[in-house]
Amino acid sequence: MADVNRGNRPLSPFMLGQYYRLQMTSFSSIMVRISGILVLGLALLVVCWLLAAATSDSAFALVDGVLRSWIGDVVMTGGVWALWYHTLGRLRHVVWDLGYCLDVRVAEKLGLGMFVGATLLTIVTLIAV
């Protein structure tokens, strides 16, 4: 059986938007991926900020000024939310992989819990700053 039809197998179609209705489980899962990629991109800002701090007063003033402007605040807050959300999403995978909370109703609650949890943690982070 292992040699049958190698390299000529049907591929699964891209389902989103055409045949598949988005639901909490899949939406929260897609958001884990998007938030992860977003945070990887935004890490560039944090690394630039560290490099600027290590380099000179003028470099730091420039980068720190951008990150602490109102648009920087929006981006950083979004980044923190995405990082919290992504982390909660990865922990959900751990819970699932260990065999818990696989019931659809519970899984849907976990998805909602990730959005609420990430938002609460972001608020806590903003208060802590």
Partner 1 sequence: MRYLTDRKRALGLGSARTGTDQHWQMLVRSIVMGVLVPLFVFTFAAGFGGTRAEVLAYFSHPCAAIVTGLMLVVGLVHLMHEANEAVEDYIHGVAGKLSLVAVKAFAFTLIAIGLFALVKIAL
Task: Identify which range of 19-27, 57-65, 105-113 contacts partner 1 by CB under 8 A.
Answer: 57-65
Binding test (CB under 8 A) with partner 1, winner from 24, 29, 46, 66: 46
Nearer to partner 1 by Cβ, of 6 and 105: the residue is 6
DSSP, residue by residue, the chain: -TTTTTT-PPPPP--BTTTB---HHHHHHHHHHHHHHHHHHHHHHHHHHHHHHHH-HHHHHHHHHHHTSHHHHHHHHHHHHHHHHHHHHHHHHHHHHTT-S-SHHHHHHHHHHHHHHHHHHHHHHHHH-
Per CB under 8 A, 28 contacts partner 1:
no
Q: How far is the CB of 29 from partner 1 (least distance, A)?
A: 12
Per CB under 8 A, 129 contacts partner 1:
yes
